[in-house]
């Protein structure tokens, strides 16, 4: 604001700046998307224990998938388990590839594709699966590989995925602790 009188009257402060104060913000405490195991992880990482499930159905919900179709690998059986306690699975995927402006992990992408192929063979609806990664390069890599494999799955960064809801989310960490997490 160039006019000093207007600035004095408060027009030098944007609406966003006025709203971004503790007195006018609120923290989510009740949610209807994650079961109790995933909520516990969110509480540990971000919410300091204040987040809770909206009802018992949400609290106990798990993936519904035919366990006989999980394939031969134990990690796939674990990642696609219907057991509540196994709703968050973290797999070590080794090293990432970091470029000047990007970060990706091809091995982690392969793991994601292995999971998607088992889900597809088992008849799990593709429109109920989402993949989230924090890095655009990883999102692009997964999009390329899923397209090549004729798998139609929504893949986005964390910010781009805001407001979406899926029965199963695969979070591709890419480099953070070199792990891929499956949230069911």
Band (32; pLDDT cuts 50, 70, 90): very high
pTM of the entire predicted model: 0.77
In the chain, which residue ranges form alpha helices assigned H by DSSP? 4-6, 15-19, 36-42, 56-60, 74-79, 106-121, 136-148
Q: Are the beta carbons of 179 and 105 closer than 8 angstroms?
A: no
d(CA 62, CA 1): 53
CATH of domain 62-184: 3.40.50.300
Band (98; pLDDT cuts 50, 70, 90): low
For residue 183, give the nearest of 159, 165, 163 by alpha carbon: 165
Tens of pLDDT, residue by residue over 106-161, are 999 999 999 999 999 888 999 999 999 999 999 999 999 999 999 999 999 999 98
In the chain, residues under CATH classification 3.40.50.300 are 62-184
């Amino acid at each position: 604001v160039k006019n000093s009188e207007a600035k004095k009257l408060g027009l030098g402060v944007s609406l966003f700046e006025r709203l971004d104060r503790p007195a006018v913000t609120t923290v989510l405490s009740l949610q209807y998307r994650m079961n109790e195991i995933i909520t516990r992880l969110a509480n540990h990482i971000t919410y300091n224990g204040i987040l809770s499930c909206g009802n018992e159905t949400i609290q106990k919900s798990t993936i519904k998938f035919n366990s006989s179709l999980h394939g031969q690998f134990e990690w796939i059986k674990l990642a696609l388990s219907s057991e509540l306690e196994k709703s968050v699975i973290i797999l070590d995927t080794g090293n990432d590839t970091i470029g000047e402006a990007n970060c990706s992990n091809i091995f982690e992408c392969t793991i994601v594709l292995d999971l998607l192929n088992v889900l597809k063979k088992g008849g799990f609806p593709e429109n109920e699966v989402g993949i989230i990664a924090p890095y655009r390069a990883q999102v692009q890599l997964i999009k390329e590989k899923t397209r090549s494999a004729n798998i139609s799955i929504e893949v986005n960064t964390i910010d781009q995925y805001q407001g979406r809801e899926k029965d199963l989310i695969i979070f591709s960490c890419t480099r953070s602790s070199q792990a891929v997490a499956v949230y069911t």
